[in-house]
Structure 1
Amino acid sequence: MEAETLALAQGIDFSMWGLFARATLTVKLVMLLLIGASFWSWSIIVQKALQYRRARAQAVQFDQAFWSGEPLDGLYESIGSEPHGSAEKIFAAGMTEWRRSHRDDGGLIPGATARIDRSMDVAISKEAERLQKGVPVLATIGSTAPFVGLFGTVFGIMNAFIEIAAQQNTNLAVVAPGIAEALLATGMGLFAAIPAVIFYNKYSADSDRILGNYEAFADEFATILSRQLDS
């Protein structure tokens, strides 16, 4: 009997493709859904890595230009009407409102400081939305993928027991393929979820740091403009 069981087991394809091919339609759909979620997750991970690296590099470059001693009006003119970096957009929002707050006679319209602060806050909010776009998807995949995989496992094990009952045979060669197919769904769920959770936490922290730097710059810039207003 043991020799017969061993022979049957050796004839079964336990490769990833073999397990997928033998799975029921529902389990296959679950696996395909998890594969799609994994690709979606990794596309967001790569995109955000490039975006955050570019945002940090642009912030460093603008910070050097801002503190180089160049007049603010000259820096604003060099940036132009369509700034590229996030820090440049925040600076341009403040400078645009600063210029609009001057009357034709050179005086300032009352409430200029509050309007400049609001303009930069709006610019920071837009950049925060852009930085965090797609990151909640990683949280969704990370929290739901294990349960989707578990659903496939439960359904696969149920079908495995149905097959055992139909054949009235508890031989390992009969039981093992169905259990292996079912557990593959759980493994794929974890494969999709673990990177999503790790990078969601990482990018949430990175986004907070970048936005914190933008807010610190806005406060420093507002202080500089406030000194000019007082003088």
Structure 2
Amino acid sequence: MNSDTSILQLFLQASHLVQIVMLLLLALSIFSWTVIIQRTAFLKKTKKNTENFEERFWSGIELSSLFKEAQIKKDKIQGSEKIFYAGFKEYARLHRTHNKNPEYVLEGTTRAMRISYSKEVDALENNLPFLATVGSISPYIGLFGTVWGIMHSFIALGSVKQATLSMVAPGIAEALVATAMGLFAAIPAVMFYNRLTNKVSKIEHLYETFMEEFSSILHRQSSLNTEE
């Protein structure tokens, strides 16, 4: 094997099955980086929107005014604002028909927020399992290609009378490229899966804290209305 042999040459010289393995790993790597870039941008935007909304929420603005603002752009809101919109909408609806039963109103409001919370969490976790899958299976796919390539090289040696290192080295090098590509796909996927999962957990905590605080506000509001 010449010292200037490139990965492309190794790919072209590999067996068809090893080539398929390499192409599969390349595709997994490309899709992984697409998910990583998209999810990183999405989570950054979501956290920023959530912090901006909560800052406005605690600024002293009337909840009804905040709800009207969210209602105007309801197809574009996300995160805590979406949870607030779902909760306040249900609270207003139930309060009009069951204002004498605050516990029922709060129970229905909490249920509406929980449903919205679940949908928002699903949006945060979208495609993250794909990264976990790539991180788990890519090394094994690469190892399969390596084993197959080495086996193919040794089988070819059976047809010659005198085997030399120069005869088997190219085949082994071709096969080892599959392992390298498997690691190349797996390592970033695992690293960013852990990093993005940590970010998701922090945003989920923001959602949960907001729901508890908003529920407390509505509970106090319901108590005041009942006393009146």
TM-score by length of 1: 0.91
Identical residues among aligned pairs (%): 42
Partner of 1:219: 212
Which one is further off, 165-174 or 15-24? 165-174
Question: Does 60-69 or 162-171 show the bigger shift?
Answer: 162-171
Matched with 1:34 is 25
Structure 2 counterpart of 1:166, from 146, 159, 172? 159
The runs of 5 or more residues in structure 1 that have no matched partner are 1-8
C-alpha RMSD of matched pairs (Å): 1.5
1:133 aligns with 2:132: no
> Offset of 1:173 from its aligned partner?
1.5
Q: Distance in 2 between matches of 1:146 and 1:154?
A: 12
Match of 1:147 in 2: 140
Secondary structure of the structure 1 residue equivalent to 2:159 = helix
SS in 1 for 2:77: coil
Q: Report the Cα offset of residue 14 of structure 1.
A: 2.3
Cα contact 1:14–1:177 (8 A) shared by 2: no
Q: What is the alpha-carbon distance in structure 1 between the residues aligned to residue 208 and residue 161 of structure 2? A: 69
Deviation at 1:24, TM superposition (A): 0.2
Matches within 5 A, 1:2-41: 9-10=1-2, 14-41=5-32
Q: Deviations over 1:86-130 (max 9, x none)?
A: 1110000110011101236x9345501111111111111001111
The equivalent of 1:112 in structure 2 is 105
Is residue 199 of structure 1 aligned with residue 195 of structure 2?
Answer: no
State the secondary structure of the residue aligned to 2:5: coil
> Structure 2 residue aligned with 1:157, among 142, 146, 150?
150
Q: Which amino acid aligns with 1:78?
A: E
Aligned residues: 221
| CA distance, structure 2, for counterparts of residue 177 and residue 103 of structure 1 | 79
Counterpart check, 1:98 vs 2:97: no
The amino acid of 2:189's aligned partner reads A
C-alpha displacement at 1:203, in angstroms? 1.3
Q: Which amino acid aligns with 1:73?
A: S
Q: Which whole-Å CA distance do the structure 1 matches of 2:43 and 2:10 have between them? A: 39
SS at the partner of 2:185?
helix
Measure the CA separation in 2 of the matches of 1:118 and 1:71. Answer: 23
Provide structure 2 residue ranges, at least 5 long, that are not aligned to the other structure: none
1:6 is matched with: none
Contact 1:103 1:109 in 2 (8 A): no
Residue 43 (1) aligns with residue 34 (2): yes
Deviations 1:54-100, CA, capped at 9 Å, x for gaps: 00110111011101101100111112151512111000011001110
Which secondary structure state, in structure 2, belongs to the residue aligned with residue 70 of structure 1? coil
What is the one-letter code of the residue matched to 1:200?
Y
Match of residue 60, structure 2, among 61, 66, 69: 69
**TM-score by structure 2 length?**
0.93
1:122 aligns with 2:115: yes
Shift of 1:26: 0.3
